[in-house]
Amino acid sequence: MCGIVGYIGYRDAYPIIIKGLHRLEYRGYDSAGVALLDKEMRVYKKAGKVSDLEDFVKGIDTSGTIGMGHTRWATHGAPSDRNSHPHSSGDRKLTIIHNGIIENYNVIKEALLGKGHIFKSDTDTEVLIHLVEDIQNETGLDLQEAVRVALNRVIGAYAIVIMSADDPDMVIAARKGSPMVIGVGKGEYFIASDATPIVEYTKNVIYLNDNEIAYIRRDDLLVKTIDNTVQTPYIQKLELQLEMLEKGGYDHFMLKEIYEQPRSVRDCLRGRVYPQQGKVQLGGIKEYSDKLKNVDRIIIVACGTSWHAGLVGEYLIEEYARVPVEVEYASEFRYRNPIITEKDLVIAISQSGETADTMAAIELAKEKGATIFGVCNVVGASIPRITHAGVYTHAGPEIGVASTKAFTAQVTVLTLIAFYIAQQRGAITRNKLIEYLTELNEIPDLIEQTLKTNESVKAISEKIKDSRNCLFLGRGSSFPVALEGALKLKEISYIHAEGYPAAEMKHGPIALIDEEMPVVFIATKHSSYEKVISNIQEVKARKGQVIAIVTEGDTAVRSMADYVIEIPQTNEAFVPLIATIPLQLLSYHIAVMRGCNVDQPRNLAKSVTVE
Ligand code: M6R
């Protein structure tokens, strides 16, 4: 959940670390800190954003060619200066930054308190660095060994970087359950939670595996497991481009990412869809084609927006591949005793590929013998490594905390998976596939067209921006779109919003409707059109304000709704890919008008690597 950056080499570490922390701020922005090592260790930290830290260190000596930095999403201990990372050992010689949770920190802390350790923060992280210090004091082990022994004693998840004033030519990095990338330069190494702080310096990276510790010197890297087995690290080439990490002239990353969707969906389809042959090709799951012919049931596990994409996937897979699908919140699934068999296929969806609940659900399903596919965006993240096979969404880095282009890319991949399974099982004819795939290939252009609604969506946003509540209603696969619209609005504008299947309104939410209540309908001309029209009338009869997403040229809904947003005609299967766009724009504009921090909404972080 937190972002970590480290550097060892010949350049000034501080500017590299600060720039990297800005790139990782999507992971948490409760506090930030740096440690720089020259002849001595200097630690500067501050509650607030990375820019607050920068203001704080202005005029202070930030020299040093070895250092590390941290941007925090608070778990143990409130956001404050003293709980900010880095944390130090009692003798101040050792310093640590940490992403994750040390679950047994309390037991260790009690023991260390008994030995006279004094803690300055409420964090689990500080306990870990005191444990390393304690092991060194008690056993006389060198730092490398002491860290390894300490990591064998902790339970939980971590990505850590440790520096020692006694060894100013070494940085130690380790991971278990939290991501860590090492950039390999000439006479220098970079360490980060993801590749974004590294890409402008080197394209050569090593993704550290769980239970690995890297001992990094300026011109030497040694990787061992925590069991002390030397590893041969695999150096990969980054495909990330620097421009992908910039706002590119947009006011916010979220807006840029909304506008990137024609491109991201196109990238997602590229090389996978062959309309003329009526064929879908998914290299990542090809090996499992036979499994797909016999699979009894598909369970989709995910959280948040990815869960909404999963719900769209359920409609598509059941409709076209005719396999029963269940969609589960990963956080609930893992704590039940779900019935899973070897004949089940579990599809885990995650933009970040790091969500702790989704990872735990995968591990559980794996233990029970299911085959697991991942649908992830971040290449090399943890989920693609722990699943049997998978399909990347190729949306490119998503930096805005509110997910936009990742959602449409996930839905695109699930559409492809639905057709792929249908193809393997003979559940769809070749002619039908030709028809669908031809239309699917046009979706990027239709998204482009839909983005032209921006000005009218902005005008509607102005009208409803001061509302305290908002309802989003849709039927069929537009129901998850309604859920997603509501989530977007609440997370970035802090307006209370709920998504419901339109027909459920009369079973309760209708009681909320009065002239103050905007109700957003997805009312395109598809199977439940007439029913949705009835629901619109029910809202109008109670003086609610209706905002309707309609199919181009619609007149019936226009005559009843207060505001309409027209989207291009498309096959019902692809409506979620189009109808979502104006909802993203609506929440964006409302949040901007309300003066909210669109890219970094309060209390949230992009990857939720804690339970
Ligand atoms: O990285 P993941 O897709 O696993 O993340 C899941 C959710 O945390 C995420 O979708 C969250 O709901 C976003 N803030 C939605 O905009």
CB 411 within 8 A of CB 351: no
pLDDT, residue 400, reads 93
d(C-alpha 56, C-alpha 34), whole Å? 11
What was the pLDDT predicted at 38?
Answer: 86
Q: Using one digit for the tens of pLDDT, what is the confidence trace for 345-385?
A: 999 999 999 999 999 999 999 999 999 999 999 988 889 99
Mean pLDDT of the chain, nearest integer: 95
Q: Best mutation site among 328, 355, 407, 609 for ligand 1, i.e. most ligand atoms within 8 A of its Cβ?
A: 355
Residue numbers of the chain with a pLDDT score lower than 70: 610
Q: Which pair of structure tokens corresponds to residue 459?
A: 């005008």
Q: Is the CB of 403 under 6 A from ligand 1?
A: yes
**Considering just the CA atoms, what is the radius of gyration of the chain in Å?**
25
State the pTM of this model. Answer: 0.83
Mutation pick for ligand 1 pocket among 258, 411, 608 (CB with most ligand atoms within 8 Å): 608
606 is catalytic: yes
| pLDDT of res. 322 | 97
Cα-to-centroid distance, 257 and ligand 1 (Å): 15
Return the pLDDT at 210.
Answer: 92
pLDDT value of residue 27: 86
Domains present along the chain, CATH in parentheses: 3-243 (3.60.20.10), 252-441 (3.40.50.10490), 451-611 (3.40.50.10490)
Residue 379 confidence (pLDDT): 85
pLDDT in tens, 375-405: 999 988 889 999 999 999 999 999 999 999 9
Q: Residue 22 in contact with residue 9, Cβ under 8 Å? A: no
pLDDT at residue 28 in the model:
85
Neighbours of 133 (CB within 10 A): 23
Task: Report pLDDT digits (tens) over 312-330.
Answer: 999 999 999 999 999 999 9
What's the confidence (pLDDT) of residue 1?
73
pLDDT of residue 76: 80
Alpha carbons 574 and 411: distance in angstroms, whole number:
9
Looking only at the bridges linking them, the beta strands covering 469-474 and 518-523 are: parallel
**Does a cis peptide bond (omega within 30 degrees of 0) precede residue 86?**
yes
pLDDT confidence of residue 102: 92
Q: Is the CB of 197 under 6 A from ligand 1?
A: no
Euclidean distance between CA atoms 464 and 590, whole angstroms: 8
Looking at residue 451, its pLDDT comes to: 98
Which of 92, 219, 61 has the alpha carbon at shortest distance from 164? 92
Instruction: Give, for 158, the enclosing helix (H) or strand (E).
Output: strand 156-164
**What pLDDT is stored for residue 327 in this prediction?**
98
Residues 428, 432, 434, 435: is their CA dihedral positive or negative? negative
For residue 353, report the distance from its CA to the centre of ligand 1, in Å.
Answer: 10
Say how far apart CA 296 and CA 314 lie, in whole Å. Answer: 14
pLDDT of residue 239: 83
Q: Is 580 in the pocket of ligand 1 (CB under 6 A)?
A: no
Name the strands in the sheet holding 171-176, side by side, starting at the edge strand that comes first in the sequence. Answer: 87-88, 94-102, 156-164, 171-176, 212-217, 220-225, 230-231
- pLDDT tens digits for 245-257? 888 889 999 999 9
